């Protein structure tokens, strides 16, 4: 619809054919462009259609509507559209019991479906102790609604998600990461809304990992730790309530993705033989950072053996197609690789050079896809071609607990060299805050 | 909170109002008009518009058609191909776009 809006701005009338399942998204996009009257036809042509009989039936069914939209005079509302929702909702929105608050916020479409902590004045004030920035400080306007990402709204999301005040610096850095995400196809503007159900995946590096207890070890991506659970959850609420990206409307994800509830891991820097991710990306080891990507797929597999060949060959055989991939090695695997002389770059090089597919398969894999630059595909069907065109699209980190499994988070992310990592700024009272909240950890009884 | 009551702040962000604008008048009659067909990068877009062009040609033999392909996913044509896009736009009376997904 953005193309249609730019055409209307150039004084030409438009009609856009969309799949009828995307009518809500179409209307939201039109309104975001200030053109609520943009004419569109919700047609029955299937998504990504390639069967001509279906396409013909869809177009035939919509033909009269298309002609009508091209020729029918404008209604008064289309000529001069009326009002829109209030842009300054009341700051205090509701009063009620815990259950009533939860029901109210859920019914307004402001939660992720799970119960929330009520964002009272008192709770939000406590969350704001996690930053020196004032509540009305504006970080930027978050797509698609261009909602104002103020510190207070971020704190409200943090409270609702169950964050501790020591998580605020991460939420602020994460929001900046979203705001400064690469424009166009490989940034948040695509991955936040696409039919591909890409989920924000946050990697935390630096000293803050220990100060706020972000799990980098056993079950790091499982439920159980406030930081891993609540930070990712809060970022989801920020996307929803500040960015205005709602499931089934602006978020067009076909299948959805459980990683959208939360997907946060710390790198196990202490047990890694390699430089940590943020140092690789130019930060100092003592800096704390958060790195964002948008995987679609999460998979795990065994190595064929514990030596470098067995680990890397298994990675090559199991890693799926995708644009950007984070491969998480456990400390023992990483150390075995290092002992055999593999640095991070060597690991990436091995994977990129050995993930080969026959040209015939690569050709099929490209069918129907957006014409991205994967390079030319040889004519000879059995000629092997690399599936990963550039090893910079591979990210290697160390994490996870004892055991042999290797994990892959594969999907989207920034073009190498574009912004993906944000330094986390700490408030002046950081040490005091850490002392206050650091012991908020689960203690599991033996039974 | 007293009596188990919670007074909560709104999580919904403010946004600067975008003034709503009207759209352009349609062409009224397709006979003799030149219709722009704008496809995006998705698989279904091109064949959908091809079928539409054929159907409209049958109904309006004097109508003309002109294609433009914006093959950069999630980027406006005007942002990466402004000159060609605006030149094309000047030649057409109205545009039908197809979003293939």
Any B CB within 8 A of A7 CB:
yes
Q: Cβ separation of B89 and A147 shorter than 8 Å?
A: no
Amino acid A420: pLDDT: 92
Residues of B with CB below 8 A from A368's CB? 43
Q: Which residues of B touch A145 (CB under 8 A)?
A: 13, 15
Of A10, A52, A120, the CB nearest to B6: A120
Contact B35 A63 (CB under 8 A): no
User: Average pLDDT of chain B?
Assistant: 91
- The pLDDT of residue A418 is 86
Whether A145 and A254 map to the same domain: the answer is yes
A62 in any annotated domain: yes
pLDDT at site A313: 98
Interface of A with B in 109-128 (CB under 8 A): 110, 118-121, 124
Which one, of A388, A166, A411, A147, lies nearest residue A295 by Cα? A411
Alpha helix (H) residue ranges in A86-150: 98-107, 121-128
Q: Supply the pLDDT for residue B91.
A: 96
pTM of the model: 0.92
| The two structure tokens encoding residue A195 | 């039919």
Strands A201-205 and A289-301, by their bridges, are: antiparallel
User: Inter-chain contact B75–A185, Cβ cutoff 8 Å?
Assistant: yes
Residue B83 has pLDDT above 90, yes or no: yes
Assess whether A50 and A184 both reside in one domain: no
Average pLDDT on B66-73 reads 88
What are A63-97's pLDDT values in tens digits? 999 999 999 999 999 999 986 666 677 999 999 99
- A214-235, pLDDT tens digit by residue? 999 999 999 999 999 999 999 9
CA distances from B85 to A313, A332, B47, B69, B100 (A): 47, 55, 21, 9, 20
Domain end: A268, A287, A321, which one?
A: A268
Are A164 and A258 part of one and the same domain?
yes
Domain boundary among A253, A268, A283: A268
Quote the DSSP letter at residue A358: E
Q: Is the pLDDT of residue A101 over 60?
A: yes
Q: Cα–Cα distance between A265 and A70 in angstroms, integer?
A: 52
Region A57-61: what's the mean pLDDT?
A: 92
Q: Looking at residues B79-98, what average pLDDT do you find?
A: 93
Select from A236, A281, A303 the least CA-distant residue to A397.
A281
> Which of A224, A245, A268 is a domain's end point?
A268
Pairing state between β A324-329 and A394-398? parallel
d(Cα A273, Cα A338) in Å, to the nearest integer?
6
- C-alpha atoms less than 13 angstroms from C-alpha of B54 in its C-beta half-sphere: 9
Tokens 């992310």 correspond to A413
Number of domains in chain A: 2
With CA atoms as reference, the chain A residue closest to B30 would be A71
Q: Pick from B22, B55, B94: which is nearest to A78 by CB?
A: B22
pLDDT at B41 over 90: no
Note whether A140 and A198 are same-domain residues: yes
Question: What interface predicted TM-score (ipTM) does this complex get?
Answer: 0.92
Interatomic CA distance for residues A422 and A170, integer angstroms: 9
Q: Do A62 and A163 fall into the same domain?
A: no
Contact flag A184-B72 (C-beta cutoff 8 Å): yes
The residue of chain B nearest to residue A92, with distances taken between CA atoms, is B9
Measured between CA atoms, the residue of chain B closest to residue A367 is: B43
Mean pLDDT of all residues in B96-101: 83
Across A201-205, A264-268, A380-384, least confident range = A380-384
A61 within some domain = yes
- Give DSSP secondary structure letters for B2-54: GGG-EEEE--SPP-PPPPP-PPPP--S--TT-EEEEEE-SSTTHHHHHHHHHH
Residues A236 and A198 in one domain: yes
Do A241 and A141 have their domain in common?
yes
Residue A139 lies in a domain: yes
**Contact assignment for B12 to A89 by CB distance below 8 Å:** yes
CA Rg value for chain B: 22
Question: Which helix (H) or strand (E) segment is A148 a member of?
Answer: strand A147-150
The pLDDT of residue A43 is above 70:
yes
Q: Are residues A12 and A105 in the same domain?
A: no
Same domain for A72 and A106, yes or no, is no
**A279 in any annotated domain:** no
Could you tell me the pLDDT band of residue A369, with boundaries at 50, 70 and 90? low
pLDDT value of position B60:
96
Residue A331 is assigned to a structural domain of this protein? no
Whether A225 is in a domain gets the answer yes
- The pLDDT, as a whole number, for residue B42 is 84
Q: Is residue A10 part of a domain?
A: yes
Percent of chain A with pLDDT over 70: 97
A189 and A218 share one domain: yes
Q: Do A44 and A106 belong together in one domain?
A: no
Residues A145 and A71 both lie in one domain: no
Task: Render pLDDT for A297-345 as a digit per residue (tens, 0 to 9).
Answer: 999 999 999 999 999 999 999 999 888 899 999 999 999 999 999 999 9
Report the gap between the CA of A399 and the closest CA in chain B (Å).
34
**Residue A399 is assigned to a structural domain of this protein:** no
The CA-CA-CA angle for residues A19, A30, A6, to 5°, reads: 105
- Domain encompassing residue A30: 2-79
């Amino acid at each position: 619809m953005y193309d249609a809006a730019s055409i209307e701005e150039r004084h030409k009338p438009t009609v856009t054919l969309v799949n009828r399942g995307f009518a809500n998204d179409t209307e939201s996009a039109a309104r975001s462009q200030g053109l609520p009257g943009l004419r569109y036809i919700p047609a029955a042509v299937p998504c990504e259609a390639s069967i001509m009989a279906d396409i013909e039936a869809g177009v035939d069914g919509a033909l009269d509507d298309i002609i009508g939209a091209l020729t029918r005079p404008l209604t008064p509302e289309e000529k001069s559209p009326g009002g829109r929702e209030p842009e300054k909702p009341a700051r205090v929105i509701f009063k009620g019991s815990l259950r009533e608050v939860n029901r109210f916020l859920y019914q307004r479409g402001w939660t992720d479906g799970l119960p929330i902590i009520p964002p009272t004045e008192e709770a939000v004030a406590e969350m704001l102790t996690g930053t020196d920035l004032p509540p009305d400080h504006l970080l930027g306007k978050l797509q698609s609604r261009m909602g104002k990402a103020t510190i207070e709204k971020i704190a409200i999301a943090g409270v609702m998600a169950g964050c501790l005040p020591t998580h605020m610096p991460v939420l602020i850095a994460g929001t900046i990461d979203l705001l400064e995400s690469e424009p166009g196809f490989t940034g948040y503007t695509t991955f936040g809304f696409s039919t591909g159900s890409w989920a924000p995946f946050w990697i935390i590096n630096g000293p803050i990992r220990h100060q706020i207890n972000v799990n980098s070890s056993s079950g790091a991506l499982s439920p159980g730790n406030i930081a891993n659970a609540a930070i990712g959850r809060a970022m989801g609420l920020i996307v929803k309530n500040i960015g205005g990206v709602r499931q089934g409307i602006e978020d067009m994800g076909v299948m959805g993705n459980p990683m959208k509830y939360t997907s946060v891991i710390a790198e196990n820097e202490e047990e890694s033989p390699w430089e940590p991710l943020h140092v690789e990306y130019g930060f100092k080891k003592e800096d704390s950072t958060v790195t964002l990507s948008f995987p679609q797929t999460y998979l795990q597999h065994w190595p064929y053996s514990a030596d470098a060949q067995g680990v890397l060959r298994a990675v090559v055989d199991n890693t799926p197609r995708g644009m950007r991939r984070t491969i998480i090695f456990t400390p023992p695997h990483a150390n075995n690789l290092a002992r055999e002389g593999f640095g991070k770059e060597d690991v990436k090089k091995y994977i990129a050079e050995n993930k080969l597919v026959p040209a015939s398969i690569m050709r099929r894999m490209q069918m129907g896809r957006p014409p991205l630059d994967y390079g030319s595909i040889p004519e000879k069907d059995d000629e092997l071609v690399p599936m990963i065109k550039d090893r910079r699209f591979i990210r290697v980190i160390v994490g996870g607990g004892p055991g042999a499994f290797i994990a892959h988070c594969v999907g989207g992310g920034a073009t190498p060299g574009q912004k993906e990592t944000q330094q986390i700024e700490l408030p002046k009272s950081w040490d005091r805050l850490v002392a206050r909240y650091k012991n908020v950890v689960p203690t599991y009884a033996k039974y | 909170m007293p009596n188990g009551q919670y007074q909560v702040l709104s999580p919904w962000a403010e946004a600067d109002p975008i003034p709503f604008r009207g759209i352009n008048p349609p062409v009224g009659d397709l006979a003799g008009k030149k219709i722009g067909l704008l496809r995006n990068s998705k698989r279904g877009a091109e064949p959908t518009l091809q079928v539409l062009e054929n159907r409209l040609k049958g109904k309006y033999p004097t109508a003309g058609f002109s294609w433009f392909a914006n093959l950069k996913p999630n980027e406006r044509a005007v942002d990466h191909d402004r000159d060609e896009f605006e030149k094309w736009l000047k030649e057409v009376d109205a545009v039908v776009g197809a979003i293939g997904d």
